[in-house]
């Protein structure tokens, strides 16, 4: 097949993937992506487990070691059909804690420790580099097959150049769809959809080749069965240690490989999808491995003995002249490699940016959380990380020379990834797991894995000198890399698995047992282990009230983007029952915000950034107790009771106050009733007495006139009293007719002062006024307002007990309202009476001095209410002070 | 406030809980059957048995998938995670 057509097909296929990813991203952007989040897509995205190692390497593996390759798929099958044990919990924790990567999970669980995040990141990058190199190698090899195996006879231009082009293309794709936005949930619809498409392609391709082999080259299943028995593959013997060890390691890897964790927990994160995948993903694996042995058997039969069994999937159809089928197989292998590299690069880049770049950057420029463009930095860090990771993979490929069998590289990576397992499982099932233990276990695992498996994979004298293999470092025999503690004769891989896992898990367990976790750690531990307790109200680590919501909003805006941050804050404010954009910085809110930020930059970084604003997380002894045992619920209950009790106390106090006021009023009303009868009775008595005298006749005309005047005066007094009472009832019912017009305050005050002068005319008052400020026109009922002014001035004249009485009148205008203050220099009104002076019949001093019925201020209050204003007592003015407030323009509607 | 878990459950909740037990047991059975070849294979068998071993593994695999598929629909959607509903 001409090279140009091959390249053209590749480019077309990649363009198609770009298109699929682009469309998916667009549809997700407009919220029409429900099918993107279906269980089917979820299951297909999980198939990044099947890399080029499966597609090409499994056949080679089967050709070399028979059925052993199946262990790599049986282990994950067990994990998935047992999803109720581990996966369900992982996914739930991932969703609740907004975990962004496996390093983030570990770091978040163990007290948001960034050191652990760094260790896991380092481990992952080191372990995955050869794995990425393996993908580049397989793609390059598959190009090479087309190059050499065709009659047209073109030579592959340059092996390294091919690999570098592939690496660059993959980096571009990952950057375009993996780091376009900094999503709070770290989901990339475009990537997931493209991977689902690739999953279908690789399955179809492998099944097509398998079908061709079974029914095209052989004579159906029974013939294949016979050929398997006759082929050299049957000489294979099952090695129990490898069988068990590989199954274990692949089961561990399927949850702890960064890319698997990414698609399973970070991108997916729905338990119902997981339920479907629990059988669909094993089914996918089974279909993928169904034809591996037949292809290997027929390949061994038909291909020359020099042929690389890793490439049988491709070379077999090619040799049989099935160009189209070979092309399909090529695309299948291409898909396997690319999807793995893309997801792995994104997952690793997320780790590197969140756990290495961001903390360093925040350390160097602590003020940056508030001022800098954090989003830009995070995205740039991820892009650079993707490029760096692919460069590492390419470098490894160049260094190793692409000679090693695919399977062995993959297994080294699996064992490396599995080192996270003890800390992860311990973290989600054991509250006692501590940061110290996890760190110790991870480091131990990393070291043992590197020493016994990873470094030896470079060969004798590669990194470790040959004499160390034979005699141990410095001649210490029990430290030989492939015979630790003198246990020699083991399969090197099983040896590495056993020792790394045993030492790792023991260090983890012992470290946890002999250390004491910090407060945040214990809280996170409880939150992770008890993730299924729905009503769990985790105690908050943030002290109350130290953070300004505005500062938090600014920081959130730098990470989440302005609009999403504003939306989030507004929603939270509404939830707290507040208007506007700024919720109170309650511990709950800060916790929620931290979790949200953690979805973008990882738990440790988010914690560090919030700490800069809120101050250190303060955990009180009481909160620790809440973590330590089940008293949390009781405490919460008692807190609730306390709150209720507080409320009851408040209500009771209000009731008591109301009651006091009522009692006082009732007493006053009784007093008033006797007073009013007295008031009515006094004039009535004199009217009766004088009218009796008049009816007797025989009086001089002067006396008659005098008595008549007395009667008349008394009648007027009676009428005024009754008028007041009537007036009050009209005002209170709101049925008063207002006569609206323009009135000048100054004129009104002049009139009022003149009219009130008749009250105690013997007292000389000094009136202090500011005439210019009084020159205000208001639209109101002038007569009623005048009535109020007269009343207030008269009161001052009546009650001010100063020797040189003064009355200060101040007029102010503010925001469409006018206030007039009347302040005298007397004793004022005692505090306890201020509440009742505006009540009807209220009277403070003894009635002889007052000479009124106690209705004046009550009428004033009602008048002002009818004028749309109010009258109130101003405390603390050095004397009795009243403020009448009214609108500048009174609308008729209000009147 | 200790949650009260009644002593006996309704028939439906009871069945759901046993379904979960089955889901937890399934991988244990799977592991047993997948490891079974270890017991018979290392022995010097007179005839090569790779083909029949493979067949055996695929049959077990297939049955496990069927069992998981049968269990899965009953497992999710259960609102009560630890079976608190009476």
Residue A368's pLDDT band (boundaries 50, 70, 90)? low
Res A417: pLDDT: 92
Split at pLDDT 50, 70, 90, the class of A422 is very high
pLDDT over 70 at A152, yes or no: no
CA A41 to CA A267: how far, in whole Å?
11
Which band of pLDDT confidence, cut at 50, 70 and 90, is reported for residue A34?
low
- Which residues span the domain enclosing B28? 11-41+50-73
Flag whether A545 is in a domain: no
Mutate to test the interface with B, among A278, A530, A536 (most CBs of B within 10 A): A278
Contact A67 B57 (CB under 8 A): yes
Q: Does residue A379 belong to any structural domain of this protein?
A: yes
- From A482, A502, A532, the end of a domain falls on A532
Residue A411: inside a domain, yes or no?
Answer: no
pLDDT band at A153 (very low <50, low <70, confident <90, very high): very low
pLDDT at B41: 59
Question: Cβ of A234 under 8 Å from any chain B Cβ?
Answer: yes
Give A11-27 pLDDT, tens digit per residue.
898 889 888 888 888 88
Q: Which residues of A touch B32 (CB under 8 A)?
A: none
Is A278 part of the contact surface with chain B (CB cutoff 8 Å)? yes
Q: Taking all residues of chain A, what is their mean pLDDT, rounded to a whole number?
A: 81
Mean pLDDT, residues A60-70 taken together:
87
Position A63 scores a pLDDT of 87
> Is A486 in the same domain as A355?
no
Q: A486-533 pLDDT, tens per residue?
A: 777 778 888 899 999 999 999 999 999 999 887 778 878 888 888 887
pLDDT of residue A893: 53
Residue A532's closest chain B neighbor by CA? Answer: B81
- Strand A766-769 and strand A806-814: the pairing is parallel
Question: Is the same domain home to A717 and A838?
Answer: no
Distance between CA atoms of residues A208 and A214, nearest Å: 10
Q: Are residues A28 and A62 in the same domain?
A: yes
- Within 8 A of B35 by CB-CB distance, chain A residues are 243-244, 247
* A374 & A424 share domain: no
DSSP labels for A795-834? HHHHH---SS-EEEEEEEEETTEEEEEEEESS----HHHH
Judge if A396 and A448 occupy the same domain: no
CA closest to B2 among chain A residues: A633
Instruction: Mark whether A297 and A169 lie in a shared domain.
Output: yes
**Of the candidates A259, A334, A242, A269, the residue with the CA atom closest to the CA atom of residue A14:** A334
CATH number for A701 = 1.10.287.130
Who wins on pLDDT, A116 or A527? Answer: A116
pLDDT confidence bin for B46, thresholds 50/70/90 = low
B57 falls within a domain: yes
What share of chain A in percent tops pLDDT 70? 87
Nearest to A244 among B38, B66, B72 (CB): B38
B13 vs chain A: nearest CA distance in angstroms?
Answer: 17
Q: What is the pLDDT of residue A150?
A: 47
Rounded to an integer, the average pLDDT of A599-603 is 74
Strand arrangement, sheet containing A870-873 = A766-769, A806-814, A817-824, A881-887, A870-873
If you compute the radius of gyration of chain B from its CA atoms, what whole number of angstroms results?
19
pLDDT surpasses 80 at A637: no
Q: Is residue A540 part of a domain?
A: no
**Rounded-to-integer distance, Cα A329 and Cα A341, Å:** 18
Kindly state whether residue A549 falls inside one of the protein's structural domains. no
A243/B48 touch (CB, cutoff 8 Å), yes or no: no
Domain shared by A347 and A496, yes or no = no
Q: What is the rounded average pLDDT of the residues A236-243?
A: 84
Residue identified by tokens 């008349």 is A712
**How many domains does chain B divide into?**
1
pLDDT band with cut points at 50, 70 and 90 for residue A250: very high
Coil, strand or helix at A659: helix
In a domain, A811, yes or no: yes
Q: What is the DSSP letter of B3?
A: P
If asked whether residues A514 and A663 sit together in one domain, one would say no
Domain shared by A612 and A638, yes or no: no
Q: How many domains does chain A have?
A: 5
* Residue A745 scores a pLDDT above 80: yes
Provide the 8-state DSSP code for A257: S
Assess whether A249 and A377 both reside in one domain: yes
- Please check whether residue B2 lies inside any domain of the structure: no
Same domain, A240 and A343: yes
Q: Is residue B25 part of a domain?
A: yes
pLDDT value of residue B2 = 46
pLDDT > 90? residue A710:
no
ipTM score assigned to the predicted complex: 0.86
Residue B5 lies in a domain: no
What is the rounded average pLDDT of the residues A843-861?
A: 64
For the cut 60, the answer to whether the pLDDT of residue A617 exceeds it is: no
CATH number of the CATH domain containing A265 = 1.20.1730.10
pLDDT digit string, tens, across residues A215-225: 988 888 888 88
**Which of A39, A66, A76, A78 best probes binding to B when mutated, by most B CB atoms within 10 angstroms?**
A78
Instruction: Compare all CA atoms of chain B with the CA of A244 and give the residue at the minimum distance.
Output: B35
Q: Tell me the pLDDT band of A319, cut-offs 50, 70 and 90.
A: confident
Q: Report pLDDT digits (tens) over A440-479.
A: 999 999 999 988 888 887 776 667 777 777 777 777 777 7
Question: Which chain A residue is nearest to residue B42, measuring alpha carbons?
Answer: A238
Alpha helices by DSSP H, A734-811: 745-756, 771-774, 782-799
Looking at residue A534, its pLDDT comes to 61
Q: Residue A682 has what pLDDT? A: 76
pLDDT tens track for A535-592? 554 444 555 445 677 777 777 776 777 677 777 887 887 887 776 667 777 777 777 8
Would B82 be classed as within a structural domain?
no
pLDDT value at position A85? 87
Asked if residues A335 and A201 have their Cβ atoms less than 8 Å apart, the reply is yes
How far is it, in rounded angstroms, from Cα A601 to Cα A560? 10
| Surface of A (33-92) touching B: CB under 8 A | 66-67, 70, 74, 77-85
Q: Which segments within A10-165 are labelled E, that is strand?
A: none
Contact A70 B54 (CB under 8 A): yes
Tell whether A735 is within 8 A of chain B (Cβ): no
Q: Is A63 helix (H, G, I), strand (E, B) or coil?
A: helix
In which band, very low, low, confident or very high, does the pLDDT at A635 lie, cut at 50, 70 and 90?
low
- Asked whether residue A483 is domain-assigned, the answer is yes
Residues A227 and A122 in one domain: yes
Please give the structure tokens belonging to residue A342.
């893309």
Minimal C-alpha gap between A524 and chain B (Å) = 20
- Report the residue from B1, B51, B64 with minimal CB separation from A228: B51
Helix (H, G, I), strand (E, B) or coil at A790: helix
Q: Please indicate if any CB of chain B lies within 8 Å of the CB of A293.
A: yes
Q: Is residue B34 part of a domain?
A: yes
Radius of gyration of chain A (CA): 45
Helix/strand/coil percent split, chain B, to 5:
65, 0, 35
**pLDDT above 70: residue A845:** no
Q: What is the pLDDT of residue A559?
A: 73
Q: Is residue B22 part of a domain?
A: yes
Q: Is B60 among the domain residues? A: yes
As given in the structure block, the two tokens for residue B57 are 């593994």
Whether residue A410 is contained in a domain is answered as no
Average pLDDT over residues A596-602: 76
Range of the domain at A740: 736-887
Q: Testing the interface with A: which of B25, B35, B39, B50 to mutate, by most A Cβ within 10 A?
A: B50
Instruction: Tell me the three state secondary structure of residue A780.
Output: strand
User: For residue A630, what pLDDT band results from cuts at 50, 70 and 90?
Assistant: low
Instruction: Report which of A40, A28, A87, A93 is spatially closest to residue A598, judged by C-alpha positions.
Output: A93
């Amino acid at each position: 097949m001409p090279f140009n057509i091959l390249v053209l097909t590749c480019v077309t296929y990649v363009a198609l993937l770009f298109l699929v990813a682009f469309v998916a991203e667009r549809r997700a952007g407009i919220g029409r992506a429900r099918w993107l989040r279906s269980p089917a897509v979820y299951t297909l995205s999980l198939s990044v487990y099947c890399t080029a190692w499966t597609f090409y390497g499994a056949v080679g593996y089967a050709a070399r070691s028979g059925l052993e390759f199946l262990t790599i798929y049986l282990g994950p099958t067990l994990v998935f059909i047992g999803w109720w044990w581990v996966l369900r919990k992982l996914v739930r924790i991932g969703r609740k804690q907004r975990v962004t990567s496996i390093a983030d999970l570990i770091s978040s669980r163990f007290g948001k420790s960034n050191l652990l995040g760094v260790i896991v990141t380092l481990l992952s990058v080191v372990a995955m580099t050869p794995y990425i190199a393996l993908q580049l190698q397989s793609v390059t090899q598959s190009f090479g097959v087309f190059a050499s195996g065709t009659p047209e006879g073109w030579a592959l231009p340059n092996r390294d150049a091919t690999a570098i082009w592939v690496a660059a293309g993959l980096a571009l794709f990952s950057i375009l769809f993996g780091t376009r936005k900094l999503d709070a949930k770290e989901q990339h619809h475009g990537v997931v959809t493209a991977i689902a498409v690739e999953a279908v392609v690789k399955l179809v391709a492998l099944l097509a080749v398998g079908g061709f082999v079974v029914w095209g080259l052989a004579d159906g299943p029974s013939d294949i069965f016979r050929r398997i028995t006759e082929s050299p593959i049957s000489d294979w013997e099952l090695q129990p240690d490898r069988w068990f060890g590989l199954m274990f390691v692949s089961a561990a890897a399927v949850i702890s490989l960064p890319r698997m964790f990414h698609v399973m927990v970070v991108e997916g994160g729905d338990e119902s999808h997981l339920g479907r995948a629990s059988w669909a993903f094993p089914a996918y694996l089974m279909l993928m491995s169904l034809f591996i042995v037949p292809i290997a058997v027929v390949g061994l039969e038909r291909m020359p003995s020099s042929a690389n069994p890793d490439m049988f999937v491709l070379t077999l159809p090619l040799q049989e002249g099935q160009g189209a089928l070979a092309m399909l197989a090529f695309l299948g292998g291409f898909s396997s490699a690319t999807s793995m590299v893309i997801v792995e690069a994104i997952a690793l880049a997320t780790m590197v940016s969140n756990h290495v770049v961001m903390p360093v950057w925040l350390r160097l420029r602590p003020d940056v959380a508030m001022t800098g463009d954090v989003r830009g930095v995070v995205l740039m860090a991820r892009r650079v990380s993707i490029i760096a990771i692919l460069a590492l993979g390419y470098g490894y490929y160049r260094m190793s020379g692409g000679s090693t069998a695919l399977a062995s590289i993959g297994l080294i990576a699996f064992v490396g990834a599995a080192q996270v397992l003890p800390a992860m499982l311990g973290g989600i099932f054991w509250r006692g797991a501590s940061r110290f233990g996890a760190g110790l276990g991870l480091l131990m695992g990393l070291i043992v894995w590197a020493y016994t498996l990873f470094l030896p994979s470079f060969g004798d004298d590669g990194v470790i000198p040959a004499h160390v293999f034979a005699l141990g470092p410095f001649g210490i025999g029990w430290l030989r890399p492939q015979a630790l503690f003198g246990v020699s004769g083991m399969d090197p891989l099983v040896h590495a698995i056993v020792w790394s896992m045993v030492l790792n898990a023991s260090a983890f367990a012992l470290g946890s047992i002999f250390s004491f976790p910090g407060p945040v750690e214990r809280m996170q531990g409880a939150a992770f282990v008890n993730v299924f307790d729905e009503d769990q109200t985790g105690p908050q680590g943030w002290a109350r009230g130290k953070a300004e919501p505005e500062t938090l909003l600014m920081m959130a805006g730098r990470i989440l983007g302005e609009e999403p941050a504003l939306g989030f804050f507004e929603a939270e404010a509404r939830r707290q029952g507040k208007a506007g954009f700024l919720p109170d910085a309650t511990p709950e809110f800060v916790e929620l915000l931290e979790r949200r930020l953690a979805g973008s930059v990882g738990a440790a970084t988010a914690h560090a950034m919030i700490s800069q604003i809120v101050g250190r997380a303060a955990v009180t002894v009481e909160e620790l107790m809440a973590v330590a045992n089940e008293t949390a619920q009781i405490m919460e209950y008692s807190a609730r009771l306390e709150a209720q009790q507080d409320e009851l106390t408040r209500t009771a106090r209000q009731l008591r106050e109301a009651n006091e006021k009522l009692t006082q009023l009732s007493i006053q009303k009784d007093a008033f009733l006797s007073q009013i009868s007295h008031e009515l009775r006094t004039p009535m008595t004199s009217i009766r007495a004088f009218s009796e005298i008049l009816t007797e006749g025989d009086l001089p005309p002067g006396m008659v006139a005098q008595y008549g005047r007395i009667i008349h005066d008394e009648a007027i007094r009676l009428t005024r009293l009754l008028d007041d009472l009537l007036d009050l009832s009209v005002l209170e019912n709101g049925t008063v007719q207002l006569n609206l017009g323009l009135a000048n305050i100054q004129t009104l005050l002049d009139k009022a002062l003149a009219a009130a002068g008749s009250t105690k005319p013997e007292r000389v008052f000094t009136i202090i006024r500011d005439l210019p400020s009084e020159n205000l026109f208001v639209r109101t009922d002038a007569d009623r307002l005048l009535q109020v002014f007269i009343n207030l001035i008269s009161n001052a004249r009546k009650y001010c007990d100063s020797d040189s009485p003064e009355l200060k009148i101040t007029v102010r205008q503010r925001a469409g309202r006018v206030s007039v203050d009347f302040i005298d220099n007397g004793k004022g009104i005692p505090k306890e009476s201020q509440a009742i002076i505006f009540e009807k019949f209220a009277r403070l001093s003894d009635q002889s001095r007052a000479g009124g019925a106690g209705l004046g201020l009550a009428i004033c209050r009602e008048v002002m209410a009818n004028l749309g204003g109010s009258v109130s007592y101003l405390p603390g003015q050095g004397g009795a002070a009243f403020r009448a407030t009214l609108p500048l323009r009174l609308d008729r509607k209000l009147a | 406030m200790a949650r009260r878990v009644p002593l006996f459950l309704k028939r439906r909740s009871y069945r759901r809980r046993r379904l979960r037990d089955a889901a937890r047991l399934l991988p244990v059975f799977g592991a047993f059957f997948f490891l079974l070849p270890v017991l018979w294979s290392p022995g010097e068998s007179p005839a090569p048995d790779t083909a029949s071993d493979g067949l055996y593994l695929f049959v077990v695999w297939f049955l496990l998938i069927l069992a998981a598929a049968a269990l899965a629909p009953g497992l999710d959607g259960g609102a009560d995670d630890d079976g608190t509903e009476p």
